[in-house]
């Protein structure tokens, strides 16, 4: 089994043509959208009239794009950007995604159209790594005193950050990423990680194998990376955590494995998201609504990155900076790691679990309720490393 590590994705930075009016369509749930993408402020920077149209991410569709003819499209992972969205549009020159992942964007198509693309690679690497540590120590608190072997599949921004935290705790790290050279972190085969880890944490993007139907796919596909064959190798006592992309795990094979082994599994992402069945939810040790990266710092970094990239494409100097928006943070990693009780109290991951389970109606969590949990989520803080 192989996969592609998470790295930044940027197509060539074409300058946005000077136009009398700059129109931006933006997902209204992008953090601090009004602070960074303020029409008046951008207008002063560019000397243009700026119109910002804010809509829910799932409502950014081909009809809206064809009607509004935006120059700039700002999205999150719920908006699929490909030919069906942009076929009737000839105005979009820049797409910015305030997310680490890029599987929702057809970058090959954007390149063909000479549309610049930027994503927020690395923006929530500490947020997700801290989520994983909190999940482990909530379920296995004795590992403060009894070091564990942490297996990490995917050593991009998040996986490598998680590894550094684990090393700080005195844990042994088994890392696997076939696209990176061997190193002190990239030190094991896929099978070694699966067979020899106390905990396996997934940090890969979602990719399909290159084919006629997936011309922008990968030689190292990750869809259903973990299926029955892999679960049969995974010891029953191994804790499994997925905060990457839902379809990396074959959902029905996972359910069967949990029934067979009573394995502890933590999912922040789901194969058929945003719908989640009660059948799967009831088998999970911890389940959360795709919020592993939802911290004040992580969200602001994501917005800052695509704001800076847009400013570069507009040939203007950025005028807003996230440090001006951050409230005081007194949560320091050196203190938290010395006092595990404080760390668990700092982020009550089980409250997020309870909130998701409370949304089960008629055997499932609906897409609307899943999205609402994400939209209304009270952003936690990161520990300062």
Catalytic residues: 245, 273, 290
**Cβ pair 179, 4 in contact under 8 A:** yes
How buried is 227 (Cβ within 10 angstroms: 0-12 exposed, 13-18 middle, 19+ buried)?
middle
The Cα 264–Cα 348 span in angstroms is 18
**Cβ pair 325, 335 in contact under 8 A:** no
Characterize the bridge pairing of strands 360-361 and 364-365. Answer: antiparallel
Q: Which of 136, 143, 188 is nearest to 162 (CA)?
A: 136
Which residues in 269-290 are b (16+ Cβ under 10 Å) and which e? bbbebbebeeebbebbbbbbbb
Find the DSSP H helices in 183-331: 190-196, 228-233, 251-261, 278-281, 296-313
The Cα 146–Cα 307 span in angstroms is 44
CA dihedral 378, 280, 197, 153 (to 10 degrees): -70
**Cβ pair 272, 59 in contact under 8 A:** no
Helices then strands (H, E): number in the chain? 16, 14
Unique residue bearing structure tokens 């290159």: 210
Q: Which of 200, 192, 252, 244 is nearest to 222 (CA)?
A: 244
How buried is 219 (Cβ within 10 angstroms: 0-12 exposed, 13-18 middle, 19+ buried)?
exposed
349-357 and 367-375 helices, crossing angle to 10°: 150
First to last CA, the chain: 33
């Amino acid at each position: 089994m192989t996969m592609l590590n998470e790295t930044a994705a940027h197509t060539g930075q074409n300058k946005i043509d000077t136009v009398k009016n700059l129109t931006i369509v933006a997902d209204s749930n992008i953090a601090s959208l009004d602070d960074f993408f303020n029409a008046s402020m951008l207008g002063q920077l560019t000397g243009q009239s700026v119109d910002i149209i804010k809509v829910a991410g799932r409502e950014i569709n081909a009809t809206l794009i064809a009607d509004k003819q935006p120059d700039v499209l700002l999205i999150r992972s719920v908006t699929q950007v490909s030919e069906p969205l942009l076929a009737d549009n000839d105005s979009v020159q820049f797409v910015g995604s305030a997310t680490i992942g890029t599987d929702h964007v057809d970058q090959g198509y954007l390149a063909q159209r000479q549309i610049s693309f930027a994503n927020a690679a690395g923006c929530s690497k500490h947020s997700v790594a801290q989520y994983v540590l909190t999940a482990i120590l909530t379920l296995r608190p004795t590992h403060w005193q009894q070091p564990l072997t942490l297996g990490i599949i995917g050593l991009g921004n998040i996986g490598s950050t998680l590894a550094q935290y684990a090393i700080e705790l005195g844990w042994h790290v088994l890392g696997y990423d076939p696209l990176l050279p061997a190193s002190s972190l990239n030190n094991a085969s896929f099978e070694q990680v699966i067979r020899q880890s106390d905990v396996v944490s997934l940090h890969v993007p979602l990719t399909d194998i290159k084919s006629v139907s997936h011309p922008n796919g990968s030689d190292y596909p990750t869809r259903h990376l973990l299926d029955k064959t892999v679960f049969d190798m995974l010891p029953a006592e191994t804790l499994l955590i997925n905060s990457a992309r839902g379809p990396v795990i074959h959902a029905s094979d996972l359910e069967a494995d949990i029934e067979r082994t009573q394995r502890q599994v933590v999912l922040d992402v789901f194969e058929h998201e945003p719908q989640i069945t009660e059948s799967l939810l009831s088998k999970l040790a911890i389940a959360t609504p795709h919020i592993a990266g939802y911290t004040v710092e992580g969200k602001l970094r994501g917005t800052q990155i695509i704001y800076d990239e847009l400013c570069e494409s507009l040939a203007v100097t950025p005028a807003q900076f996230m440090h001006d928006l951050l409230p005081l943070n007194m949560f320091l990693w050196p203190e938290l790691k010395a006092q595990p009780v404080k760390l668990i109290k700092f982020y009550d991951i089980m409250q997020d679990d309870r909130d998701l389970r409370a949304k089960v109606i008629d055997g499932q969590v609906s897409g609307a309720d899943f999205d609402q949990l994400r939209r209304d989520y009270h952003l936690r803080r990161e520990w300062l490393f």
